[in-house]
Structure 1
Amino acid sequence: MVTEGDELALVDALRADDPEALAALFDRYADRIYNHCFRATGDWADAEDATATVFLEVWRHRGRVQAHDGSALPWLYGVATNVCRNLTRSGRRRRRGLAALPPPSVEPDHAERVVDRLGSTARMQTVLAAVRELPVREQEVLGLVAWSGLSYEQAAAALDVPVGTVRSRLSRARARLSALTEE
């Protein structure tokens, strides 16, 4: 049994920065503080967190520890009550904050897009392989007119050739591509 003198000596040692005194208080009262925190929070995990926080606060404020009727337990219960109150208050704030957020949007399944992109990549590789079989001049005209959307006149100006040359090169490129892709 703990005598009043032992408890007062423990409080004095704690005020004198003795970590052993904190360990002794923890060993004596952690179960009671834990049960108090559980009754205040209604959650075992929160009670564990609160108990740890209580003894952390006791160490931080060890110069203010008080013994009532020869025991530090009433002061520990006061610290525990404040810790649980703060924990409960912060939980309410967190829940209100989360409730104020818009609901998460449902993201579409990207698997179909990935499959489509892989398919289009494969098709593009096939087309590019066929285009690479064309002479460079026809590749240039095809790229400017068919893929970039330039008019014949704009492509002719870009390549510094007559408009008729652009037309004939594009015609030959289309015919060769058609023959290459039908094989």
Structure 2
Amino acid sequence: MSGTADDVAHDAALTLAAQAGDVSALAGLLERHRPGMRAVALSLLGPGPDVDDVMQDAALVALRRIVDVRDPRAVGPWLRMVVRNSCRALLRDARRTRPVAQVPLPPDRVTPEHLLESHALRDWIWAAVETLSPTLRLPVVLRYFSTGITSYAQIAEACAVPVGTVRSRLSQARALLARALTATASSAHEDVTRRTEASRREAHETLAAAERGEFDKVVKDRYSRDVSLLTRGERLGGTRFLLAGMDCDLAAGVRQRPVHVVAGRSLVVWEMEFLNPADDPDHCPPGVAWIMTLDGGRVDRISLYHSPRTQPKSAPAEAG
């Protein structure tokens, strides 16, 4: 599309409307800029099915992050940047090229947590996400709503499946979401902000109760009697193992601090930072995500994903 003053003004009007929650305005923006976005994808990936995947991926990112556009008149370059970053992420994940630097986002951007809470379209998006099967819902939530489990390799580890399976499930999920978003756009939706804030309070309360020696009461009140604790797809144990693990960390002086919360009706993710004792700073890795599935409002399964430790830089060799 040409960059006339009328085009720029139209873009600005559609962007402001989309940021205010107008679903049709966002759809209009994506349609207006589809040729330019597709051209970017083709230039980086070449012809093939990956282009369609990236276009769908970029549309979902735009849904979640349209509020990040500081200059509504520049939404076209922003959308093309989203496509470019999605292409580069795909290339890195597929190990088809050496990593390249991300195109920087605008300065002073809001945090991902704020984006979720302030996004006018969040309720509509979550209604569509909840229509997915559990198998497809988990990689979508991690890819688009978590902050530390977003690459294909990280999602594969968290879901205990091969990277190729992650790519396949995300591709299926994107196609289903496109239809579900259209079908649920005019429906009444839950208040995701309220649910997320309640889950964040619950995370803080759970950790505070554990430090008081009352984690067992939390587990009894909020968790299923048959709750399972897993890591990398392997079951570690049930309630006893869960309680013992928390007690062991606390006895070692390790604490956890919530840094990001994702809360759906059937899937909740608490991303935690580990606070290790000063005399044992490497006791635990940097962080852990509690990936929890709910049944009847009670946690029935917790999968733990531990953030990888930072690899120490090797010392330069001395000249002989």
TM-score, structure 1 as length reference: 0.47
* Bigger relative CO (Cα 8 Å, ≥ 6 apart): 1
TM-score, structure 2 as length reference: 0.27
